[in-house]
Amino acid sequence: MQHSTTDKETVVGADRMIKSAPVRLSEKMNTKLRSGYITMEQKETLVELMKQNPKLKSSKFSSTFTTKDAQRMWIALAEELHKIPNGAIKDWKQWRKTWQDLCSKTKAKHSQISKYMKGIGGGPALLPLEQLTSTEQQILETINATAISGLDNIAETEAVFNMKV
């Protein structure tokens, strides 16, 4: 496997400078992507803060709630989460992504549980899945119901098959 390299960067030793070494792009990218796992306390606090900020949760912008307003709120939210001891330190964009990921994973888990409960999907019966945690249940409650179950009262078209050969 071939790794592309960038300009050489100087590696500094404990007491002297060592010869320049090429830096792999994959190494640089990996250091940017991970900022640590969030603690359960941070997750619960994030859910509570999102419940208290419905405008931020919906991400619908208007003349009274702009992207700059949302950014300021995310920065304030990140500062609150950083106060929690032994927690992950992330910038506001990473916390926003964390919230999006939590919502996505919770919806997927809820969908799998619903699929099991309804017994749909064909094939062999699904194994019973674990239930939603209390934090996941709270996340589900903050998400718009339409995002979870779709629109109600929408007439579905009827499929008619004519099997004349």
pLDDT digits (tens, 9 = 90+) for 15-44: 444 444 454 444 444 445 567 899 999 999
Task: Identify whether the C-beta of residue 23 lies closer than 8 Å to the C-beta of residue 6.
Answer: yes
Domain chopping of the chain, boundaries: 40-52+65-120+134-144
Q: Give this prediction's pTM.
A: 0.62
Q: If you average pLDDT over residues 146-158, what whole number do you get?
A: 57
- Report whether pLDDT(138) > 70: yes
> φ, ψ for residue 12 (rounded to 5)?
-100, 125
* 134-142 and 92-118 helices, crossing angle to 10°: 100
- Residue indicated by tokens 């100087």: 10
User: What is the structure's pLDDT at 110?
Assistant: 85
